[in-house]
Each structure stands twice: as structure tokens, then as C-alpha cells.
Amino acid sequence: MENPLHPFELHPFVHLSLLGVDISLNKAVLMMWVVVALVAGLLIAAGTSRRLVPRKLQSLAELLVEFIRGMILDTMGREGMRFFPFVSTLFVFILFCNLLGLVPGSFTVTSQIVVTAVFALFVYSMSIVVGFSLHGVKFLGILVPSGTPAWMLPLMIPIELVSQLARPLSLAVRLFANMTAGHTVLAVLFGMLVSMPFIPAPLAVKVGLFFVLVVLIVMRRRIVASAGIVGLILWWCLIPVLLSIIWIRWLPFVVSIAINGLEVFIAFIQAYIFSILTCVYLGDAIHLHGHEERAH
């Protein structure tokens, strides 16, 4: 069986270097270019018509804008709207990387920890820069939760320091691990699709069973009508058994399709989590201690 981790291997197509830095082209770089071109093309096409009553593409783009606007207003308040371009770019880019990675033969850029770690470090250092530029030295107060008694400070400051430093790590690892795990499961299932042994039976038997299967599917209503619930149960038991004797690989096939659907959902939810945590961290930097009173 093929190594299920082989979809994550990168081999450069073209070797390039700039001032000693390796900038070779590989699948991940090309995929990012495709994502950027696709997103830019779609959103520019959606934005040019500007109808009062939107068509399909424009209403999708309006849905996206409303969604991200609501996310920012919930977590950061009105002051956060200046980060709208940043957060929406991040969301759309990660979402399209995740979704396009599900197309067979393409590459999931977000399954490389380098990519997610650079995003996470950028977001986190941005929140620190924003915090220091808005609050000055008082921003160090983020290490002291509001209402801490003075004798607790030697304990609380290290704990808060660790919990702050854990933020970029959890941000990067979450996206990377979700993408890698899902694609590994898919690769294992598709590997089973190739390597699972057939049930040995003569071809004539298989052809005969195939006709029985067709008859069973066509006659389903009449079987249920004449034999009632017993007939229905029998029908549901017989179909997979017959199918397995003819072609056992229907099992990994069906499961891999179901997992693919789950992966589409995970692509959405991970892009959403990444961008909402970006909002939360930036919001912490904007409202120093403000969030704990506003939380419900």
C-alpha cells in the first residue's frame, strides 16, 4: 500500500534562488497562486455589478461581508472594523486553500505547518504591536487579570505569560492538524480502495449475482408489500452482502465519499475558527480587560 502521507510531500518543479534563499517553485506555491487568482477574480466579478437587487455571485459576496462584519462586531466592537480587510482576507484565503485542497490531485497549502505557523505568528505579533501602540507600557497589564489580589501576582504573571505564548502555537497547530489528519484519513481510505482484495468467485457467479441484485432493487416495492417489515429488513441485509461478493471495494468507496463531505464542513469550520480567534486576540489588544465585563 502506498504511504498515506505522500500527499504532503513537496518536490520543487523549478529550482530558483534569490540572494542565497531557496525560492523554488513547487505545488504549494502554485496552489497559493491559484487560490489568490481565484479569490480575486471571483470577488472582483462579484463587486463590479453593484445591483440594488443582487444576482447570485453578488449576493454570495454580500453574505460573506455580512458574516465577517458580524463576527468582528461581536468580538471587537465598532473599533475593530478597521481590521475588516485583514480578517476577511485571512478568512477567504484559508477557506479557499482548505476547499481547493479537497480537489483530487491538488495540494492543501494549509496542511503545511510552515504556512499556518507564519499566519499565526503574524496575527499574534500584530496583536502585540496594536496593543503597545494603543496603550503603551500599560499593555503589559494584559499579564494581570483584572481583580487579582497583590499576593497572587507572582503566580498569576507566569501563568498568564504561558497562556499568552500558547496562543500562536494553538492557532497554528489546530489548522495544520485538522487539515493533515483529514487528508491522511482520505489517503488511507483511497489506498484501501486500491489494495483491498476481491472476494474470489467465478465470473459467472458474479454476473448472476449482479442480475439478482438488479432484480432485488427493481422489485423492492413488491417485496416490501408482500413480506412486510421482514421483507424490508431482509432486503437491506441482502443488498450489501451481494454487493460485497461482487465488488467488496464499495465499502471504502462509500466511506471515503462521506468523509469527503465531512472535510468540506471542516474546511469551513477551521477557516472560521482561525479568523474568529484572530478577532478575539486583536480585540484583547484593543480593549485591555474590557472583554471580561462584556462577556455574557
169 contributes a contact to other proteins by CB under 8 A: yes
Q: Which of 19, 52, 218, 295: binder of other proteins (CB under 8 A)?
A: 295
Count of beta carbons in the 10 Å neighbourhood of residue 263: 20
User: How far apart are CB 73 and other proteins at their closest, in Å?
Assistant: 13
**Least distance from other proteins to the Cβ atom of residue 111, Å:** 16
CB of 106 to other proteins, least distance (A): 22
Cell numbers placing 125: 505579533
Regarding 268 and contact with other proteins (CB under 8 A), the answer is yes
Judged by CB under 8 A, the stretch of 24-32, 97-105, 169-177, 209-217 that binds other proteins is 169-177
**Binding positions for other proteins, 52-81, rule CB under 8 A:** 63, 67, 71, 74
3-state secondary structure the chain: CCCCCHHHCCCCCECCEECCEECCECHHHHHHHHHHHHHHHHHHHHHHCCCCCCCHHHHHHHHHHHHHHHHHHHHCCHHHHHHHHHHHHHHHHHHHHHHHCCCCCCCCHHHCHHHHHHHHHHHHHHHHHHHHHHHHHHHHHHHCCCCCCHHHHHHHHHHHHHHHHHHHHHHHHHHHHHHHHHHHHHHHHHHHHHHCCCCCCCHHHHHHHHHHHHHHHHCHHHHHHHHHHHHHHHHHHHHHHHHHHHCCCHHHHHHHHHHHHHHHHHHHHHHHHHHHHHHHHHHHHHCCCCHHHHCC
State yes or no: residue 258 binds other proteins (CB under 8 A).
no
Site for other proteins in 210-249 (CB under 8 A): none
| Among the listed residues 126, 144, 243, 280, the single contact to other proteins using CB under 8 A | 280
Binding other proteins by CB under 8 A: which of 150, 162, 204, 218? 162
Q: From CA 83, how far away is CA 95, in angstroms rounded?
A: 18
| Part of the chain binding other proteins (CB under 8 A), chosen from 7-15, 78-86, 125-133, 262-270 | 262-270
Using CB under 8 A as the binding rule, whether residue 151 contacts other proteins is answered as: no
51/296 with CB nearer other proteins: 296
Q: Is 118 in the site for other proteins (CB under 8 A)?
A: no
Residue with smaller CB distance to other proteins, 247 or 272: 272
Query: How many residues interact with other proteins (rule CB under 8 A)?
Result: 28
The minimum distance between CB 19 and other proteins, in angstroms, equals: 31
Residue 172 vs 186, nearer CB to other proteins? 172
The verdict on 265 binding other proteins (CB under 8 A) reads yes
Report the interface residues with other proteins, using CB under 8 A. 63, 67, 71, 74, 158-160, 162-163, 165-167, 169-170, 173-174, 177, 265, 268-269, 272-273, 277, 280, 291-292, 295-296
